[in-house]
Amino acid sequence: MKKVLRKQIGLWMLSMAMLLGFATTAFAASETESNNTLGQANVYNYGQGAGGSVNSSDTVDYWKITNVPSGSHFLSGYSGMSMSVLDSNGSVIATKPVGESTVWFSTASTGSIYVAVYYTANSGIYYYGYNVN
């Protein structure tokens, strides 16, 4: 009886670990360096979150979000990082400064946008996450 229970708990923990692993890969894009220019941006589809890290020797991460529908959107991200939203031509259309966690912007047609995440010198803050909805 005890052995069976232990086995069930073991299986339950395994399935929870698999579920968490799946959740991480299904709902959040993770960065791949180099991603320090628009041309090297890590690409993912609208509807996912993204996360990574920056530091004094890797001061920016660029992300490209594809299939963003037209209309109003907001970027919700870690307040410890400055983040900018850029249009498909690379022009900044919105900026979330350090200390704030959301910024609104709008897009005129379905297409791609970029998000740039900047390290703040001497902040000691390296890890970030954000969503665009």
Which residues contact Ca ion (rule: CB under 5 A)?
35-36, 58, 61
When the beta carbons of 8 and 40 are compared against Ca ion, the nearer one is 40
When the beta carbons of 61 and 114 are compared against Ca ion, the nearer one is 61
* Long-range pairs of 20-24 with CB within 8 A, sequence gap ≥ 24: none
Tokens linked to 100: 């704030």
CB 78 within 8 A of CB 53: no
Which spans in 54-123 are helix H?
Answer: none
Nearest distance in Å: CB 99, Ca ion: 22
Nearest position to Ca ion, beta carbon: 61
When the beta carbons of 84 and 107 are compared against Ca ion, the nearer one is 84
